[in-house]
Amino acid sequence: MAFDTRLLTGVGVLAAVTEAGNFARAAEMLGLTPSAVSRAVARLEARVGVRLFDRNPRGVSLTEEGRRFHAQVVPLLAGLDEAAAEAAGAAAVVRGRLRVSVDPWFARMVLAPKLQQFLARYPLLSVDFSTSNYREEMMAGVDVAVRFGPPDASSLIVRKLLETRVLTVAAPVYLEKHGEPRSPYDLVHHETILFRDPQTGLPFAWEFQRGAEVNEVKVSSRLVMDDPSAAMAACLAGQGIFQSLAIGLAPFLSRGELVQILPEWSEERFPLYAYHPSRHLPPAKVRALLDFIQEIAAQA
């Protein structure tokens, strides 16, 4: 099979420059001269037919086309690295750098407090951790992404990690002032805090499920937020009633900082999925993280 080996070299240089932020630091990482790095990038840009980097005196940054190309080739480089490790008999060893993008609520309430335990379990592993609830280009520069909500139709491998209930909660100070709703439709007379769906830009609808009965209530609000942790902080302060994922709420409920309202109408469930590039077998480090998430989620 004919293959342009300079293309693979150029892709490796692209990844190094992206990580380093400029040609000089990338050259140090690769053991090359800055001019050799610059030539390799120029050859790659000529090969793919687009400009991949914007150059300026302070450094370089990926163009829009460069970001898309980088997002596509980084998983391939990781695959080569994993294939080499497997050929060497080290496929089961969890090592290297794991780049992960996690939903902010799950990251803060469940995963981040347990990362010390995860890293202690795998001393040869380091984690590059980012948070986002958006899905556009969520795989750019990462090995695995974790998001709440139904899975997208894509070429990515999808693994369901858990389902969690949706609870309606309020702070005691709010209920003392405004009273507790006795039915879902009482909520039209209450202050609520809405969470914006990152996919549509619109607030999530409020749904109440009891057995086979499902009611959607058109609540109104003077406060719409796109960060569930900030929305929870407002709820704890008594701003209004909030619908939250149940996972991570147990400490607030047990301490009495939050009160669940309409508990008989809380059978709606919301899934958490992991996404990683389409490969027959994900890297050991990815499998280790996903297994760990399911382990700690069962305790949350």
- Cβ atoms within 10 Å, residue 289: 26
pLDDT of residue 1: 42
**Full-model pTM:** 0.69
Residues 6+ apart with CB under 8 A from 44: 7, 10, 11, 13, 14, 52
End-to-end CA distance of the chain: 51
The 3-class secondary structure across 72-121, one letter per residue, is HHHHHHHHHHHHHHHHCCCCCCCCEEEEEEECHHHHHHHHHHHHHHHHHH
Whole-angstrom Cα distance, residue 150 to residue 207? 16
Q: Give the residues of the chain that fall short of pLDDT 50.
A: 1-2, 90
Q: Name the residue with tokens 């009611």.
A: 215
pLDDT of residue 85: 61
Q: Are 105 and 228 in contact (CB under 8 A)?
A: yes
pLDDT of residue 157: 83
**218-247 tens-digit pLDDT:** 998 999 999 989 999 999 999 999 999 999
* Nearest C-alpha neighbor of 138 from the set 184, 102, 188: 102
**Residue 10 phi/psi, 5° resolution?**
-65, -40
* Cα separations in angstroms, 147 against 1, 64, 274: 39, 24, 6
Q: Are 262 and 167 in contact (CB under 8 A)?
A: no
Whole-angstrom Cα distance, residue 217 to residue 226? 20
**39-54 tens-digit pLDDT:** 999 999 998 899 999 9
Q: Which residues partner with 208 through β-bridges?
A: 215
